[in-house]
Structure 1
Amino acid sequence: MTEKFTVYLVDDDPGVLKALSRLLRGSGHDVKEYSSPRVFLEEHDVALPGCAVLDVSMPGLDGLEIQRVRTVGDYHRPVVFVTGKGDIPTSVRAMKAGAIDFLTKPVKDRELFDAVSRAEARDVESRRLHSELESMQAKVGTLTPREREVLIHVVAGRLNKQIAGDLGTVEKTIKVHRSRMMEKLGIRTVADLVRMAEKLRLTK
């Protein structure tokens, strides 16, 4: 069963929290509210689909600090910031760090809906890529140490004869290792192998 996309609202202003929650629930979104950023971090499970709508200025731990700790592995939780100050330098830092949008209070309904919509699209794509990488890593994990060595040499553009010389064996043996390596990875062409190696940062 697919988990529902959830909007995590974090704002220390009870009035803003209530208003944004009512607005998003009224448009059909699943919402979880947090008045404390620390409680949010303690309870938050980044493995679940969703985005965070964070107030920039909160006592103890502000939105930008939360943004820095919202990452697990290659996955980054999409974040939409809201602020009452319209601080340009802060908004630039937030956007450079990967924020979806930076909205000024009072937040306009359409701006919030559009930002959450973009966050959901990014969340879906990020999870797809993360799942794809995990699948690739699992396949690479089935390779023998020698097959992995051959993989690195192949993506570096080395020919079978050259790889054999580098590894102190014969070309026929390299061909066998190369064939088994490609079969285990489910890859047919060197171009696809290079693309996979780049995604997994396996290149020299």
Structure 2
Amino acid sequence: GSQPETKEARRARRRQQATEAAEAAEAADKKPPSSPASLLFKLLPVWLGHLFSNRFLDSDLAFLHYQEQVVRTRGGEAAGSYFMPTQSDRCIAALRRWLSSHAPSGLPASSASGPHAGLGPLPPPIYSRDALFDHFTQHTSHCRHCQAAVSALAAWRKRTYRVLAAALLLGVRFWLARLVGVACLGLLRLYVVVEKQFQVGEYKHWQNH
């Protein structure tokens, strides 16, 4: 049978564990310095970051939506269907590995076979741009930050209309009031543009090539 662990062996094992824990903590603290872009992004309101993210995702959304249908129809492992050599693809590759390992037992079964079994049937392709780029259904209706921003925009619109009304009354005599009125008109237009981004995306791929 195995010999009982001696006191010296226990001490050595604990020292080794403490050393490994300290090295792991030190490695975790050695994070690369944040880039100016990442620091600026952290200063933005959460809802504005979400709008930028939606805009970025819209640029590939149509391609990814239909390509998912093609890959599922062909069968085979998704991770092996694409060449993903960059660091930015590591999260996607990790997700695909997790799905391959755990999805068959963790998600409802479907008629799909092979590595896609258990992922469930895909919905039919979406051919309507309004449905495909529906930000409100896909994100805003589920996000407390964006819902709060929509409510805040409505409140600011009311305030801006009040200031605009006052500027119109005073603009007959004061140039400054006229400038304030012009600024209010610009803000009202900006509210419309921003609020629409919470509702639907308008990314047009043919305008970006």
TM-score, structure 2 normalization? 0.23
The structure, 1 or 2, with the larger RCO (C-alpha pairs under 8 Å, 6+ apart) is 2
Whose helix proportion is higher, 1 or 2?
2
Look at both structures and tell me which one has the larger radius of gyration over its CA atoms.
2
